[in-house]
Amino acid sequence: MQATSHLTFGIEQNKRQIERTLMKTMTCKQLGGACNMEFHANSFEEITEMSKKHGMEMFQEGDEAHLQAMSKMKELMQAPVTMEKWMEDRRREFEALPDTA
């Protein structure tokens, strides 16, 4: 009865996923970073916090790719309008994502 137990397992897993809070996934790169690290959150604020924290960790480690990505972000921040538009674009991107558990 391999097939049956497999099916049951699948249903159990689905249930567990639905019970968990729905999350969206964005990568470090999508959020202006440099790697493919994934962040899972259910709000844009939360996900930017996570990517910021990760960016700081990479910064402390002196990761070259992230340092470069950060200096690009700093340039962006010199122009508040550009930065606002950048954030807005990222938020729209986030909100367009499907909810996954």
Residues forming contacts to Zn ion in the complex (CB under 5 A) are: 28, 33, 35, 37
- CB-based contacts of 82, cutoff 8 Å, min separation 6: 76
Pick 33 or 90: Cβ nearer Zn ion: 33
63 to 15, 21, 32, 34, 57: CA distances (angstroms): 40, 32, 15, 10, 9
Closest-approach residue to Zn ion (CB): 28
How far apart, in whole angstroms, are the C-alpha atoms of residue 28 and residue 25? 10
Minimum CB–partner distance for residue 58 and Zn ion (Å): 6
CB of 73 to Zn ion, least distance (A): 12
In the complex, minimum distance from the CB of residue 84 to Zn ion, in angstroms, rounded to a whole number: 23
